[in-house]
Chain A
C-alpha cells in the first residue's frame, strides 16, 4: 500500500510536468486548431536554457527558469510568425506539416556540435535531493518543488484566462475569429500571446524535467511532447482544465503500469487508454461533441 502511494506521488510529479506541456498544446489548438508538433521541442530548448542557466552561467535557479521561459516565449512567437502565420488560410494539414518541419529543425539544429551537441548530458542539480517520509509515504524536495511551481503557474494561467482582458480575448478568439475581430480584438496578437504563454509554460516544464530526471538531449522533447499532447486530447483538446486532468491521468497510468506491469508496456497502455476513451467520448473526457450544422 505504501509502495502504491509512493507510485501515486511519482505519477503526480510526472502528471504535473505533462500538464505544463499539455497546456501549450491545448491553448494553441483551441485558438488555431493546430496540433503544434514543435511544442515538445520548445520544451527541450527550455530544458537546455535552464540547464545552461543554473549549471554553466551560474544563475540562481529561479532566474534560470525565468530566462528559459522568456527565451522560449520569444521562440514560440517567432515560430508562429515565420512558419504558421503565412499559412493562416491554408488547409490545416499544411500548417501541421510546417510544424513537423519546425520540430525537426529544432531537434537537428540543437544537435549541432556548436549548439548543444547530439549527446546526452547529465544534469547536476543546483541543490541536494532530500527525502522525507510522512505517514509511511516517501517524497522528496524535487517533487515538492515541481508541485509548487506547477500549481502556481496553473493558478496564474487560470487568473489570466478568466480575469484579464487578454484572457477574455483569448476565449473569444477560440470561439470564433471573426466574432472576436468585430469586438476590436487583434486576432494575430492574441495568437502571438497564446504561443508566448504556451511556450513559456513548456520551458518551465523543461527545466523541471531536467532537474527531476537529470538527463537532457536534443530529442528529449519528442516523447514527453507526444504524451502531453495525448493528455490534452484525452481531457478534451482546447479545454484548459481538460489538459490538466488528462495529464494527471497520463502520469498515473504511466507510473502505475511501470510499477505493476512490465515496464515496456508503459507507452502501449497509455495510448490504449487514449483510444478506448476516444471510442466512448470521441472528443475527450471534458470535450463537447458539437453536431455539425446541416
Chain B
C-alpha cells in the first residue's frame, strides 16, 4: 500500500459521510416542504439535532476523556444566554448578528469551561461529578438572578420575544460540522491523548502525556459544543427560561451519552435523536387521556435499556463511516526484525 492511500481512505469516509448527510438533508427537506412532516415534528427534529450537538460535547468530555461531568447543561445554558444577549441587544432578528451570536455562545461556554475546568478537573470520578453538578446549580442560580446584572436577561422569568432566526438548514449544517469536528478530533493524536487518560490516567501521565492539559482541552471543546447547541436553541424557540438548563437537563445529556455507549459517537448521535423523538412520540401515542403516564414510561424505558445493555446500545463501537480507517503498514518496507532464535 502506497503512502497517501490511508489519506485517501479517510477522505473516502468523509465523502461517504457527507453523501449520507446530503441524502438525509434532501429527504428531510422534502418531508418538511411537502408538510408530510408537520411544523410540530419539524420543531422536534430541530430539537433532536440541537441535542445531538450538545451530547457530542459530553461524549468528548466523558465518553472519550473519562471526565465525569454532571453539569453539562450549565454550558448549554451559558451558550444560550450569551447568544440571546447578542441577539436581543444588537441582532433583533438580523441574520448577520445571528451568525455572530453562534460563535459568541460557543466561545463564552468555552471560556467559562476553561476557567472552571482548570481547578476542578483535578478531582476524580464521582468527586468531579458532584463538583460539576454543584457548578451547574450555581450557574442556574446565576440565571435566575441574571436580571440584577443585566435586566435584558430576565432573571427567573426568562427572556421572551427572541428572534426565531435559526431554521432547519442552519441547525442541520451545524450538526454536520459538529459531527465532522468531533470525529476528526477523536481520530487525531490529541484525541488519542484524551482516550489514554480515560483508560488509565496514571499510565498516560507516565507515558509522557500532560494529563491536566488534555483534560482541560477536552472539557473546553465539549463545553464549546454545548454552548453552540444552546446558541442554536435560543434562536429556534422563542422563549428562554432558566429551568431549561437545570441539572435535570444535565442528566438528559448524561443518559444519552451512556445509553448510546461510552466512547461511541455513532451511539451518541443515534441515541440523541431517538431519545428526543421517543419523548415526543410518547406524548403522541398516549394521547391526552394517558399523558400523565409519560414520565413513568420514560423512566421504565430508561431502566430497562440499561439493565439489558449495561454497556450502552453501541458499547464503544462505531458505525463504519464514523470509525477510523484501518491503518495498514506500507508493504515492501521491512521493519526491523527481532526474529528470535527459537
Contact = CB atoms under 8 A, between A and B. Distances in A.
Interface string A246-282: 0000000000000000101101100110110011001
Given A112-B293, A265-B145, A268-B142, 6 more contacts: A33-B126, A98-B306, A108-B295, A226-B247, A279-B122, A294-B202
29 contacts: A33-B126, A87-B310, A91-B311, A93-B68, A94-B258, A94-B311, A97-B258, A97-B306, A100-B251, A100-B254, A100-B302, A101-B299, A101-B300, A101-B303, A103-B299, A104-B295, A105-B303, A108-B296, A109-B299, A111-B295, A112-B293, A118-B292, A226-B133, A229-B130, A262-B145, A267-B138, A274-B131, A279-B122, A282-B127
Contact of A268 (B123, B137, B292): B137
A112 B296 contact: yes
B138 A268 contact: yes
A227 B312 CA distance: 29
Interface in B280-299: 292-296, 298-299
A129 interface: no
B134 A271 contact: yes
A135 interface: no
Contacts of B258: 93-94, 97
A233 B302 contact: no
Nearest to B312: A94
Closest 7 CB pairs of A and B: A108-B295, A271-B134, A90-B310, A105-B299, A101-B303, A101-B302, A104-B299
A35 interface: yes
Given A87-B310, A100-B255, A268-B138, A282 B124 contact: yes
A56 to B, nearest CB: 22
A101 B306 contact: yes
B284 to A, nearest CB: 18
B42 interface: no
A107 B144 contact: no
Looking at chain A's contact residues, the main secondary structure is helix
Interface in B112-130: 119-120, 122-124, 126-127, 129-130
B72 to A, nearest CB: 14
A164 to B, nearest CB: 29
B307 interface: yes
Contact of A230 (B122, B123, B130): B130
Given A108-B299, A272-B134, A278 B123 contact: yes
A94 B316 CA distance: 14
A45 interface: no
Contact of B303 (A102, A237, A267): A102
Contacts of A161: none
Contacts of A283: 127
A230 B310 contact: no
Contacts of A102: 299, 303
A90 B202 contact: no
A292 interface: yes
Interface string B231-275: 000000000000000010001001100110010000000000000
Nearest to A114: B292
Interface string A1-43: 0000000000000000000000000000100010100000000
Given A90-B310, A94-B258, A264 B144 contact: yes
A184 interface: no
Contacts of B26: none
A275 B135 contact: yes
B23 interface: no
B126 A237 contact: yes
B141 interface: yes
Contact of A105 (B127, B296, B311): B296
Given A90-B311, A93-B258, A282 B123 contact: yes
Contacts of B123: 278, 282
A217 B295 CA distance: 16
B290 to A, nearest CB: 10
B185 to A, nearest CB: 22
Contacts of B124: 282
A83 B306 CA distance: 9
Contacts of B251: 100
Nearest to A223: B137
B292 to A, nearest CB: 6
A279 B134 CA distance: 13
A264 B145 contact: yes
A237 B129 CA distance: 13
Contacts of A87: 306-307, 310
Interface string A190-211: 0000000000000000000000
A104 B303 CA distance: 10
Contact of A97 (B127, B144, B254): B254
A226 B294 CA distance: 24
Contacts of A83: 303, 307
A229 B129 CA distance: 12
Interface string A66-109: 00000000000000000100110011011001101111110111
A113 interface: yes
A262 B133 CA distance: 22
Interface string A155-175: 000000000000000000000
Given A101-B302, A264-B145, A294-B202, A275 B310 contact: no
